[in-house]
Amino acid sequence: MDGLSASELDDLLRRFLAEDVGPGDVTTDSIVPEDAVAAAEIVAKSECVVSGLPISRRVFELLDPDLEWEDRIATGATAPPATTLARLSGRARAILTGERVALNLLQRMCGIATATRRYVDAVSGTGCRILDTRKTAPGLRTFDRAAVRDGGGTNHRAGLYDMVLVKDNHRAIAGGLSGEGHNPLCGDRLTVYVRIEGGVIADASFQGFGCAIATASASLMSEAVKGRTRAEAAELFGAVHGMLTGGPVDSVRLGKLAALAGVRAFPARVKCASLAWHTLNAALAGGREPVTTE
């Protein structure tokens, strides 16, 4: 199961049981005869996407190897309220002792699968995929990732070992600069990253989302400032800002950036085109607060 062998999965489930049962289930062992048998059903109280039935089954089997189990619905299916998910029978003590661990895992996995399915359905037909993260509770990542798959989502990296993902804190520690830009009314949100080497901008990039004008301007800016000093980048900002706000269009000096002059025909969009540039200024100045052009 998602990187766990059968024996590793059993060891994990035994640890979960040991946490709950400890030296013994004093209530069940005091009241329920050792030879008593029982039958039970697992029933959905609300609509859910089914995930985790094999895990629940295995919890009970670790306590009663002779347990009988019948799945009543397929993994990944949507269960209406009051649907019987599974039926089981076996030693009564094993069923009572294992039910909380089995149901906790089942409820968690069904909940994750159900939430994932909502997002998957929301982007259906767009070509987008819903990915998970490694921000899981320790010990539960295997189950959470399986639940995301059962809900129709896609697993991203399993841990720190299987994919490179450079985040803001990596950039900060490695000596990079960054700035945040956000126009809440328009919905544009950008993060601009700058790496300085020898007093020169060695690299510039951005990530975020927004309208085509905001992202196109950020893309052009990222290329235009590479190889420039801070002072040169500041001069370029001034030229672009002046052009966007009605100043002359110096095509020779600005090159591809002169294309942004077309935005002036739509005054409400000037703020979108200038957001990346103000964010760059904030990054170079070491600013910590998000900037806005609204």
Domain boundaries, the chain: 6-150, 168-284
DSSP state of 266: S
Contact assessment for residue 51 and residue 76, using Cβ atoms and an 8 Å cutoff = yes
Amino acid at 104: N
Structure tokens at 264: 């002036």
pTM of the predicted model as reported, rounded to 2 decimal places:
0.69
Report the SS3 class of residue 141. Answer: helix
Q: Report the candidate in 253, 294, 277 with the shortest Cα–Cα distance to residue 194.
A: 277
Which numeric CATH code is attached to 168-284?
3.90.1010.10
CATH superfamily assigned to domain 6-150: Quinolinate phosphoribosyl transferase, N-terminal domain (3.90.1170.20)
**Digitized pLDDT (tens) for each residue of the chain, 294 residues in all:** 777 899 999 999 999 999 999 999 999 999 999 999 999 999 999 999 999 999 999 999 999 999 999 999 999 999 999 999 999 999 999 999 999 999 999 999 999 999 999 999 999 999 999 999 998 999 999 999 999 999 999 999 999 988 888 776 776 666 678 899 999 988 999 999 998 888 899 999 999 999 999 999 999 999 999 999 999 999 999 999 999 998 888 888 899 999 999 999 999 999 999 999 999 999 988 877 899 998
Buried b (16+ CB within 10 A) or exposed e, 168-199: eeebeeeebbbbbbbbeebebbbbbbbbbeee
